């Protein structure tokens, strides 16, 4: 029986793709760069896509192999697309800082016309990124964080009410979801100036949008595949975007309504949206916060649009709620297994809270040196971004070698691998906050600790993220002793995805102190 026309063309297509992939899989061998053997058609993504193994874990295996052989870098394949992975810390310093002009972009697809939410600071490229970063930097100063601080503390009230309820009936608490709802409420208040109260209403639309953004569903995998392998012009032509129309409309409408209400009624709140309104109206953040809506002065520079506001508020929400929630979760897991450390940090928290009239204050948190070490060690062992993405924007000759990283090549900075490297952190699986005392920090390569990236594109929200983590931990640890419930699977495993999250539930026992 003759093959049908469709079957014939299918065989031809698969054969062509196979040989195309084989050709592409020779990229690193031609450059004489070490690489793990790829598998058709996945490259080195097979375990991630078929077994849900985080790509950072696959990178770590190759990182260990490269270091053992004395290599300063290696290559991997995401499908047939080559990606460069530096191992040497001095080379990483060049990429992130000294030679940053060769690696300015993250290589994330941006289509502001069809998907305005992609036009956020994390994704933006070159001059657009520089312009937006310059405008947003004044919104994340320590002064602005102090301005927003009390709003964060107010959100601990609902957290405390839920924990009291569980403690009274001696039931374990599933902290992973609870803390995500807690940080969602903080970002809703601090970022958008609205009362979400997902602590009491887990099914709020705001919370659902946050969950959706981090789901590694089949449709998300397909979209990610298309965005990775298709050129930007083709993605734009067929209107392929990572965010759904519903999500786009939700955030743009939310920002539009909030801005319109505040400008019509001259409403002033100490939050992120207020700072965004300043940027929209005047192109800059002013210290005269109360006068923002009434001052009709001509902008000194071009302001931002509502769509740009929505994009920044969107990434502010996603980065703010998920990374802080997971960091708090990891901290409690570690403290639940290291009771001596937990007692030491609780003693510091309670002593300083008492000093400030039994209230959690900004100045008080800034005095908590051991809490700072605990948070730093948590971020060391469980960095929010296990891999930091960059893209080479012009050919770069690696110093001391004949290897050229070609323009357009993606770069993966292996944060998790570096921060679990026994050369920099002896017994790396041990949770030891004293790794971050002054002496140890001074004796360590500064790029051995990069949980938020480094250089000009370091995370702009570092202060805010750490502050809400500390507020949450202070609220919990000042009142409760935490132990691990048997329902929590140890050792913990990570879900695949851009941000490290715990696989499965995190159940912890509460004991009032």
CATH number of the domain at 103, please.
Answer: 1.10.630.10
- Judge contact between 328 and 467, C-beta under 8 A: no
The domain in which residue 241 lies consists of 5-512
Residue 301 to residues 28, 132, 135, 283, Cα–Cα distance (Å): 46, 12, 10, 5
- What does the pLDDT read at residue 428? 97
- What does the pLDDT read at residue 488? 95
- Judge contact between 85 and 63, C-beta under 8 A: yes
DSSP 246-257: HHHHHHHHHHHH
Q: Which residue has the higher pLDDT, 201 or 288?
A: 201
Tell me the C-alpha distance between 338 and 133, whole Å: 40
pTM reported for the whole predicted model: 0.91
Span of 193-197, 341-345, 427-431, 486-490 with lowest mean pLDDT: 193-197
Pairing, β 388-391 against β 507-512: unpaired
pLDDT digits (tens, 9 = 90+) for 243-286: 788 888 888 998 899 899 888 888 888 788 888 888 888 888 87
Radius of gyration, CA atoms only, the chain: 24
> Number of structural domains, the chain?
1
pLDDT digits (tens, 9 = 90+) for 90-101: 999 999 999 999
Q: Is 459 annotated as a binding residue?
A: yes
- What does the pLDDT read at residue 317? 82
- Phi and psi at residue 510, to the nearest 5°: -115, 140
- What does the pLDDT read at residue 24? 87
pLDDT digits (tens, 9 = 90+) for 151-173: 889 889 989 999 999 998 999 99
């Amino acid at each position: 029986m003759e093959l049908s026309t469709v079957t014939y063309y299918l065989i031809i297509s698969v054969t062509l793709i196979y040989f195309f992939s084989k050709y592409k899989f020779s990229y690193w061998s031609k450059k004489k760069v070490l690489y793990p053997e790829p598998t058709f058609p996945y490259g080195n993504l097979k375990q991630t896509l078929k077994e849900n193994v985080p790509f950072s874990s696959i990178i770590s295996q190759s990182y260990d192999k490269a270091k053992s052989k004395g290599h300063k870098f290696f290559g991997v394949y995401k499908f047939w697309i080559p990606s460069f992975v530096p191992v040497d810390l001095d080379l990483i310093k060049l990429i992130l800082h000294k030679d940053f002009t060769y690696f300015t972009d993250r290589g994330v697809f941006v289509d502001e016309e069809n998907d305005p939410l992609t036009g956020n600071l994390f994704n933006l490229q070159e001059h657009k990124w520089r312009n937006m970063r310059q405008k947003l930097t004044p919104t994340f100063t320590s002064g602005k964080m102090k301005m927003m601080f009390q709003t964060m503390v107010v959100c601990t009230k609902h957290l405390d009410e839920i924990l009291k309820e569980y403690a009274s009936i001696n039931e374990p608490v599933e902290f992973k979801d609870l803390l995500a709802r807690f940080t969602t409420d903080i970002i809703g208040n601090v970022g958008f100036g609205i009362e979400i109260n997902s602590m009491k209403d887990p099914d709020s639309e705001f919370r659902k949008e946050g969950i959706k953004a981090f789901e590694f569903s089949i449709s998300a995998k397909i979209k990610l595949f298309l965005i990775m392998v298709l050129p930007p012009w083709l993605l734009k032509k067929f209107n392929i975007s990572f965010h759904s129309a519903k999500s786009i409309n939700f955030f743009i409408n939310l920002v539009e309504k909030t801005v319109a209400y505040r400008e019509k009624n001259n409403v002033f709140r100490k939050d992120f949206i207020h700072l965004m309104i300043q940027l929209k109206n005047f192109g800059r953040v002013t210290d005269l916060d109360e006068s923002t809506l009434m001052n009709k002065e001509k902008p000194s520079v071009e302001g931002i649009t509502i769509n740009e506001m929505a994009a920044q508020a969107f990434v502010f929400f996603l980065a703010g709620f998920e990374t802080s929630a997971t960091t708090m979760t990891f901290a409690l897991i570690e403290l639940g297994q290291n009771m001596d450390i937990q007692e030491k940090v609780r003693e510091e928290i309670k002593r300083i809270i008492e000093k400030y009239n039994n209230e959690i204050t900004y100045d008080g948190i800034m005095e908590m040196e051991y809490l700072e070490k605990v948070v730093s060690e948590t971020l060391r062992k469980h960095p929010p971004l296990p891999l930091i993405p960059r893209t080479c924007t012009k050919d770069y000759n690696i110093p001391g070698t004949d290897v050229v990283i070609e323009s357009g090549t993606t770069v993966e900075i292996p944060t998790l691998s570096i921060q679990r490297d026994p050369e920099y952190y002896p017994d790396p699986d041990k949770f030891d906050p004293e790794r971050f005392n002054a002496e140890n920090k001074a004796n360590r390569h500064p790029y051995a600790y990069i949980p938020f990236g480094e250089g000009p594109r370091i995370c702009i929200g570092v202060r805010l993220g750490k502050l809400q983590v500390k507020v949450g931990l202070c609220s919990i640890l000042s009142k409760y002793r935490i132990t691990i419930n048997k329902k929590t699977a140890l050792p913990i495993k990570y879900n695949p995805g851009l941000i490290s999250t715990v696989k499965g539930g995190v159940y912890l026992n509460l004991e009032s102190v």
